[in-house]
Amino acid sequence: MATTFPDRQRTLGSLLRLPYQAMQDTVYGALAERGFDDIRAAHSAVFRHIDADGTRLTVLAERAGMTKQSMAYLVDALSQAGYLATTPDPHDGRARRVRLTRRGEQAMTALLELSADFEQRLAARLGVARMKRLRTLLEELATVVEPVRAADTP
Amino acid sequence: MATTFPDRQRTLGSLLRLPYQAMQDTVYGALAERGFDDIRAAHSAVFRHIDADGTRLTVLAERAGMTKQSMAYLVDALSQAGYLATTPDPHDGRARRVRLTRRGEQAMTALLELSADFEQRLAARLGVARMKRLRTLLEELATVVEPVRAADTP
DNA sequence: TCCAGTTAGTCAGTCTTGCTGACTAAATTG
DNA sequence: CAATTTAGTCAGCAAGACTGACTAACTGGA
């Protein structure tokens, strides 16, 4: 018999991870089926943070909370796959602006659609009202997370 | 000016990821400060799924949703660091039972404590009632995720 | 009972995604 | 204008996941 640890209740972490993982798997799986099979979850760090009129590599890295080398790696892959184009920054000879190509925009649209889809399917089972409350609570949680995190090392 | 994409509202995914990441960082950071500095977030796949009287490698892998090779890698690292001990299964000469050592139990206790701590600090800011509602909704969400995921490829 | 098939785990190699450190070239500032 | 900062690149490393091919041990049916 599996003697489970007695006091082991689900941590908040696992409650957050479960739906997050499921969503990732489903959304990126579906994205691949739609023909965007060279986009992986890690690449979302770019899509999430890029502006409509282009963004510098360093800014992308900052926003994503990673090193510029790591961001460069992601941008490189997406560029080679045709989702991004980089142009030199007219105001700064060192910098390059990273922009979405048309195909990049299509990918991002698909990504947002599929995410909304997944959420809607969850809402259909959970109840729309509940999903709305959940969303609201998560948004409130977001505003509260950073202070707690910062208070970590006083 | 950063011309953000107009219709970009937060996806459910990012709402889940933000607190999850923060919690991971905080909890595993604090765990390191308590002297368990050789335990990384990936190792939680073991702690989460191991039973008090030991568990087979393959079972751990199944529960964690990963290959047995990957799980073996994690178990190996934790064994070398003294958190796990493996004994041959008396009923099956092929199998090994993986168990927590005393130190392993201490680590797991710390892990659960620190997780509860973090949740409590969030609750203090969010309000206990809200945190309770959030938890309930996340638990309900969990029961609903698998069906939706399965319905993915009909 | 024995042999065919399944199961537990290992070995070897690969890929993805992050990191650090050292560097060049361009911009900024005192 | 020299010193410093900033943007990005190059090279190398590590963790954590994967696949494929394998050995040893168990199991069920003829």
Confidence of residue B154 (pLDDT cuts 50, 70, 90): very low
Residues 6+ apart with CB under 8 A from B145: A18, A19, A22, A122
Residue A144 lies in a domain: no
Q: What is the pLDDT along chain A (154 residues), one digit of tens a residue?
A: 455 555 556 899 999 999 999 999 999 999 999 999 999 999 999 999 999 999 999 999 999 999 999 999 999 999 999 999 999 999 999 999 999 999 999 999 999 999 999 999 999 999 999 999 999 999 999 999 987 776 654 3
Residue A108 lies in a domain: yes
Residue B54 lies in a domain: yes
Q: Which residue is nearest to nucleotide C26 (CA to C1')?
A: A94
Query: Which of B44, B145, B146, B153 to mutate to probe the A interface, most A CBs <10 Å?
Result: B145
Flag whether pLDDT at B1 surpasses 50: no
Report the phi/psi class of residue A54: left, alpha or beta, with left for phi > 0 and alpha for psi in -120 to 50: left
Residue B31 to chain A, least CA–CA distance (Å)? 12
Residue A5 lies in a domain: no
| Closest-approach nucleotide to residue A39, Cα vs C1' | C16
Residue B52 lies in a domain: yes
User: Domain range spanning residue B108?
Assistant: 23-126
Flag whether pLDDT at B6 surpasses 70: no
Count structural domains, chain B: 1
Flag whether pLDDT at B8 surpasses 70: no
Alpha-helical (H) ranges within A54-94 are 57-64, 68-80
Q: Which CATH number covers residue B110?
A: 1.10.10.10
Q: What is the pLDDT of residues B59-113, one digit of tens each?
A: 999 999 999 999 999 999 999 999 999 999 999 999 999 999 999 999 999 999 9
